[in-house]
């Protein structure tokens, strides 16, 4: 198969958005995305704390400068670099300049869907990241992206390759929907038992001061056995080594995308006194824009070793009720209570002491244990599907270079 080396500036028009100021934000209207929202869209995660601009502002921008259309690609260019999002429908949204780069008006010789998969190739992604600059926060400029050269097969092969790879994504999406249904079932069960008080045997339990008799008002420290966070070595994360979980993978259950993970050296990991992850740990993001997000790490964990960075708390319970803790912390009213613990306006964040002193109503321990056991099969099934998705994604990413090289006939 003949490959043509092409500068990205020849493959598409590469630009960004028009400047949107804080004074342009509204309480509702057209979604306004930053890097974190594009990463959530790429990972098929629920977007939280959406910013908006007015419909009128959007229409003015659309008529004068244009807005993202179906087939365009947005590309994260600051912080977490290289996450692409292919606009599949005529979605109405706008985005932040500087944070995101906009690929549009593609050359007739370039299929947007193919470039979307090319950007996900580990080798291509590594190349692009190596072009980034910045000591405190990595960034890649539009001018730098324009000069990057990638290999493109003839357009008919691009279409075939994109079609083959999209079939893997279809299977991944099916599993994601199954994961979502399973998680919704567990959340429904949690709300029934611990929000609406319709737990097994509730008919025989009195309600005293608004809660079932026997429920105790405790501090979180009464049920937490361990709380700790990790760190990163001088010079920041590296491209390979021991995975270090950060914001991207503290976002719900079964959504881990370890291809986006940062790494720390083995030597650094061995010297870590805190921050090492074990199976069934509950993780909570403790600062920045993602404060309050949670996940649970467990069954089929794809690495023998793993840790968290300084932005993540590891939480372990005293009575092995990790499933209950995860779904408890996932409730909106608890997440808001955690956000309210923040006392730093410049850089949102919560301390260990404030989190451990958070007062909660803790149910009867037998009911908690019963829920924990009921949720066990659901959590196991979620992680089984998650492992399948990781393997499908790995197979898809390995397939791309083999299809392009001709090792596998298209």
Q: Structural domains in the chain? A: 4-152 (3.90.220.20), 172-389 (3.90.220.20)
Do residues 51 and 45 touch, judged by C-beta distance below 8 A? no
Q: Please report, in tens digits, the pLDDT of each residue of the chain (410 residues total).
A: 789 999 999 999 999 999 999 999 999 999 999 998 998 888 887 787 889 999 999 999 999 999 999 999 999 999 888 999 999 887 899 999 888 999 999 999 999 999 999 999 888 988 888 888 765 678 899 999 999 999 999 999 999 999 999 999 999 999 999 999 999 999 999 999 999 999 999 999 999 999 999 999 999 999 999 999 999 888 766 777 888 888 778 888 877 766 667 889 999 999 999 999 988 899 999 987 788 889 998 755 556 788 999 999 999 999 999 999 999 999 989 999 998 998 666 677 899 999 999 999 999 999 999 999 999 999 999 988 988 988 898 899 889 989 988 778 77
Supply 234's token pair.
């001088």
- With residues binned 3-state (H G I as helix, E B as strand, rest as coil), the percentages for the chain, rounded to 5, are 40, 20, 40
pLDDT at 400: 92
Q: Is 249 helix (H, G, I), strand (E, B) or coil?
A: helix
**Residue 30: how many other CB atoms lie within 10 Å:** 21
Which residues make Cβ contacts (< 8 Å) with residue 88, sequence separation at least 6? 70
Token pair belonging to 10: 């020849």
**What whole-number distance in Å separates Cα of residue 77 and Cα of residue 357?**
39
Q: Report the distance separating Cα 110 and Cα 125, nearest Å.
A: 18
At residue 64, the pLDDT reads 93
Residue among 223, 218, 228, 344 at smallest CA distance from 291: 344
- CA-nearest of 391, 370, 384, 184 to 298 is 384
Secondary structure of residue 268 in the 3-state scheme: helix
Q: What is the pLDDT at residue 376?
A: 94
Return the H-helix or E-strand segment holding 218: strand 216-219
What pLDDT was estimated at residue 135?
53
The per-residue pLDDT for 257 is 67
- DSSP states of 326-395 as a string? HHHHTSHHHHHHHHTT---SSS-B--HHHHHT-EEEE--HHHHHHHHHHHHHHHHHHHHHHHHHHHHHHH
pTM: 0.82
Strand partners, 6: 150
Q: Give the model's pLDDT for residue 181.
A: 95
Q: What is the pLDDT of residue 211?
A: 93
The pLDDT of residue 63 is: 94
Query: Which residues on adjacent β-strands are paired with residue 276?
Result: 307
For residue 287, what are its two tokens? 């600062």
Q: What torsion do the CA atoms of 236, 141, 260, 70 make, to the nearest 10 degrees?
A: 160
Stated as kind and residue range, the H or E segment containing 145 is helix 142-147
pLDDT for residue 303: 62
pLDDT on residue 196: 95
Cα distances from 329 to residues 81, 192, 251, 292, in angstroms, run 29, 16, 12, 8
| 12 to 103, 115, 147, 252: CA distances (angstroms) | 6, 10, 12, 35
Beta carbons of 337 and 220 less than 8 angstroms apart: no
């Amino acid at each position: 198969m003949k490959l043509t080396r092409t500068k990205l500036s020849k493959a598409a028009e590469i630009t960004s958005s028009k400047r949107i100021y804080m004074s342009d934000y509204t309480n509702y209207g057209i979604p306004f995305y930053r890097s974190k929202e594009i990463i959530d869209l790429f990972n098929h995660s629920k977007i939280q704390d959406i910013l908006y601009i007015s419909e009128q502002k959007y229409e003015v921008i659309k008529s004068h400068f244009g807005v993202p259309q179906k087939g365009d690609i947005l590309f994260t260019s600051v912080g977490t670099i290289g996450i692409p999002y292919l606009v599949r429908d005529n979605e109405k949204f706008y985005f932040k300049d500087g944070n995101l780069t906009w690929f549009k008006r593609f050359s007739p010789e370039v299929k947007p869907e193919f470039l979307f998969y090319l950007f996900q190739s580990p080798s291509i992604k590594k190349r692009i990241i190596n072009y980034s600059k910045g000591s405190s926060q990595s960034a890649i400029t539009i001018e730098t992206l324009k000069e990057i050269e990638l290999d493109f097969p003839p357009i008919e092969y691009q279409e075939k390759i994109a079609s083959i790879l999209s079939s893997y994504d279809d299977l991944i999406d099916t599993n994601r929907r199954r994961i979502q249904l399973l998680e919704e079932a567990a959340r429904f069960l949690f709300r029934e038992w611990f929000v609406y008080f319709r737990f097994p045997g509730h008919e025989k339990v009195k309600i005293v001061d608004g809660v079932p008799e026997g429920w105790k008002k405790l501090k979180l420290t009464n049920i937490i056995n361990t709380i700790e966070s990790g760190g990163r070595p001088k010079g920041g994360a590296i491209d390979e080594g021991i995975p270090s979980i950060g914001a991207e993978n503290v976002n719900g259950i079964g959504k881990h995308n370890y291809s986006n993970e940062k790494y720390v050296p083995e030597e650094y990991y061995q010297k870590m006194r805190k921050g090492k992850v074990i199976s069934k740990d509950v993780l909570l993001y403790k600062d920045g824009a993602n404060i309050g997000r949670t996940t649970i790490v467990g069954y089929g964990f794809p690495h023998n070793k793993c840790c968290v960075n300084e932005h993540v708390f590891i939480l372990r319970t005293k009575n092995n009720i990790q499933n209950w803790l995860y779904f408890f912390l996932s409730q909106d009213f608890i997440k808001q209570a955690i956000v309210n613990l923040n006392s730093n306006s410049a850089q949102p964040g919560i301390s260990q002491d404030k989190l451990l002193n958070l007062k909660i109503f803790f149910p009867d321990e037998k009911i908690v244990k019963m829920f924990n056991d009921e949720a066990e099969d659901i959590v196991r099934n979620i992680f089984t599907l998650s492992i399948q998705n990781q393997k499908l994604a790995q197979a898809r990413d390995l397939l791309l270079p083999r299809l392009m090289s001709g090792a596998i006939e298209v």
